[in-house]
Amino acid sequence: EVQMLESGGGLVQPGGSLRLSCVASGFNFNSYAMNWVRQAPGKGLEWVSTIRGTGDGAGDRIYYADSVRGRFTISRDDSKNTLYLQMSSLRAEDTAIYYCAKRGPAFYFDYWGQGTLVTVSS
């Protein structure tokens, strides 16, 4: 059974930093691109970032939404089946539930974690 469990969310002041983690199980983690998708309170879904897996096709390895590029860094540790999102220079508009999502055979999201809430507020 595919499972993903996010952690690391919490309350942080504007300008602060936070690192999210997502531990995955039930599939060959290093073969798949992994993603972060967020959802602001009461709002829709917003793709944040993608990191390809080893052997996960041609093209760039990492992608970011314009809204987070230069402030967020996605990474992965395949030995630990873990995806990360390092967030810095946080803003109020980054307040959201952050979901970890596995890529399917194409860049849609076939499995999702339950999310971790990040609140940016003074």
Partner 1 sequence: EIVLTQSPATLSVSPGERATLSCRASQSVGSNFGWYQQKPGQAPRLLIYGASTRATGIPARFSGSGSGTEFTLTISSVQSEDFAVYYCQQYNKWPLTFGGGTKVEIK
Q: Which residues bind partner 1 (CB under 8 A)?
A: 37, 44-47, 50, 63, 65-66, 99, 104, 106-115
Q: Considering beta carbons, is residue 65 or 86 the nearer one to partner 1? A: 65
Q: How many CB atoms lie within 10 A of CB 31?
A: 12
Cα 32 versus chain centre, distance: 14
Q: Considering beta carbons, is residue 64 or 84 the nearer one to partner 1? A: 64
Token representation of residue 93: 């508009």
CB of 22 to partner 1, least distance (A): 12
Token representation of residue 83: 């995806």
Q: Considering beta carbons, is residue 58 or 106 the nearer one to partner 1? A: 106
Beta strands (DSSP E) in 13-61 are 18-25, 34-39, 45-51
CB of 37 to partner 1, least distance (A): 8
